[in-house]
Structure 1
Amino acid sequence: MTNNNPYNLIPLKPTGRNETDTANTYSPEDMVQIYEQQFLTEVPEDKITEFLPFLKDFYDIDDYTLDVSAVIFEAIADSCIIYNHKVKVGRYQILEGLVKEEIEEDENYKEDEGSEDKQEQAYTLECKRTFFINDIEMPYRFNLFIHGDSYSTLTKRNSLLEKIYWFVSDGFEEHVLGNPEDTESLASINEQLVSLGIREMDLTTIHELVDYVEDSIIDDDMVETLNKILDDAE
């Protein structure tokens, strides 16, 4: 920290100029770092009005670029910023082998005399996807149910991330009105987050986190692996 850099900002190398030639442009990874410093750098209250102009000047960023930056950061899938919590998707694991499930045949299907194909087989598969919140590893185990071209997931209730999912899925009112000894509360979730070195989350952040997890547990690489497993089973 120096007089020229009193907020200890990280020098980054811009990739060039934007179309109007009014500000430097940065790689997505660099923009994330700039964004984090904008919101996470501890600034004394009497210096707040000075910080933002200094940040803009330090990185040679114009007002317009900084104003639209939130849209840019939201589009960075592998470095997602959710209300100051950096969430990343990690590896997946197939924990147990494919299990065939007995599905009761649809009566309408049986009565369809023109149909000669067999009803599609259903399978379940135990899986785990690892997530990171501020670089803290968070496991997320789930049972994958596959039936034809569709699938659904049923999440465990053991890890903190799984508990967060059920806190949102079960509904906030149920946690308020139910037995607090049997359910997780926002306070107990935040207590566990803080114990891991992760900042507390409000309800909006919790819901954003669960939406992100649900959108990310199955990716193209995992689908390719699952298709191979299904092909071998058939």
Structure 2
Amino acid sequence: MTTNNPYNFLPLQPTGRNENDTANTYAPEDMIKIYEQQFLIQVPEDKLTEFLPALKAFYDIDNHTLDVSAIIFDAIADSAIIYNHKIKVGDYQLLGGLVEEAIEYDEDNTSVDSVEGEEIQAYTLECQRKFFINDIEIAYHFNLFIYGDGYSTLTKKDTVLEKMYWFVRGRFEEDLLDDAEDNDSLASINKQLAELGIREMDLTTIDEMVSYVENSIIDDAMVDELNRLLDDAE
């Protein structure tokens, strides 16, 4: 690592040299910090061509090191780098209490051991999860429908993150194609992101963001609290 630091890089201590002994290696947590700097440091337009070489020289790392750091970042549970954007999971909030619902077995779906017309106890619950895209907080609201051992979610359509979800769903799910014209366009979504100070995203980035959000909206802590609510309701 050199002492020349024109971009105020974070000084970090390497753990050794790579397998060819040609460049420094760093702990996973430090590689995350280096990868963040690669994509998130604001660099003047006339300095862009100088930035990446300066970063590599400062940490004495190579292209391969930067490439594999994305995999390291995905292994961290609460955050990820997705095509030059950092996304992180925030806290959840249960809005209100459980609302009892009663659903009946459909005649066509009643199993041999079931009693036709039997009611299944179900509940709905309004929820919110915070996410951070490049450290900017965005809310994600959804209605949680709990039935037996299963659940499903219905996302609202207010925040830009929620609109990104419906944009992706409308493009890929045939049953939603009729309503796709009601969804925001890519240009509209990017305009809303720009108003928040977030760089524009292409289709691939939005797809990956939505997948990350869907995989992260319910975590172990939230499941534990839901189970307590269900136990109290029963």
TM-score, normalised to structure 1, is 0.82
Once residues 20 and 196 of structure 1 are traced to their aligned partners in structure 2, the CA distance between those partners, rounded to angstroms, is 43
The answer to whether the Cα contact below 8 Å between 1:28 and 1:76 also exists between their aligned partners in 2 is no
| 1:142 to partner: Cα distance | 0.5
Deviates more, 1:3-12 or 1:170-179: 170-179
Q: Quick one: structure 1 residues 112 and 203, their matched pair in 2 at CA, closer, same or farther if it must change by over 3 Å?
A: same
Q: What is the percentage of aligned positions where both structures have the same residue?
A: 65
Question: How many residues end up aligned between the 2 structures?
Answer: 227
Determine the structure 2 residue equivalent to 1:112. Answer: 113
Q: Which residue of 1 aligns with 2:16?
A: 17
Q: What CA distance in whole angstroms lies between the structure 1 residues aligned with 2:167 and 2:131?
A: 18
Q: Residues 7 and 43 of structure 1 are in contact (CA less than 8 Å); yes or no, is this contact kept in structure 2?
A: no
**Residue number in structure 2 paired with 1:95:** 95
Q: Give the deviation of 1:43 after TM superposition.
A: 7.2
SS of 1:13's partner is coil
Partners of 1:17 and 1:138 in 2: CA distance: 39
Q: Secondary structure at the match of 1:121?
A: strand
**1:176-202 deviations in Å (ceiling 9; x for gaps):** 99896x431111111110011111111
**Superimposed CA distance per residue, residues 74-98 of structure 1 (whole angstroms, 9 cap, x where no aligned partner):** 3223231011111000000110111
Q: Deviations over 1:133-176 (max 9, x none)?
A: 11111111110011111110001111111111111111279999
Secondary structure in 2 matching 1:213: helix
1:8 Cα deviation after fit: 3.2
Measure how far apart 1:102 and its partner are: 1.4
Of the structure 1 ranges 96-105 and 57-66, higher mean CA displacement relative to structure 2 is found in 57-66
Alignment of 1:3-152 (within 5 A): 4-14=4-14, 16-17=15-16, 20=19, 22=21, 23-41=23-41, 42=43, 48=49, 52-62=52-62, 64-107=64-107, 109=110, 112=113, 120-152=120-152
Letter paired with 1:28 = P
CA offset at residue 208 of structure 1? 0.7
Mapped to 2, the partners of 1:96 and 1:151 lie a distance apart of 18
Match of 2:73, SS?
Answer: helix
Query: Is the deviation greater in 34-43 or in 156-165?
Result: 34-43
Give the aligned partner of residue 205 of structure 2: 205
SS, match of residue 96 in structure 2? coil
Distance 1:127 1:21, change over 3 A: same
Residue identity matched to 1:112: D
Q: In 2, distance between residues paired with 1:57 and 1:138?
A: 35
TM-superposed deviation, 1:20: 4.5
CA distance in 2, matches of 1:208, 1:100: 34
Shift of 1:205: 0.7
Give, in whole Å, the separation in 2 of the partners of 1:132 and 1:219. Answer: 16
Which residue in 2 is equivalent to 1:183? Answer: 183
The answer to whether the 8 Å contact 2:163/2:183 transfers is: no
Which ranges in structure 1 are unaligned for 5 or more consecutive residues?
none
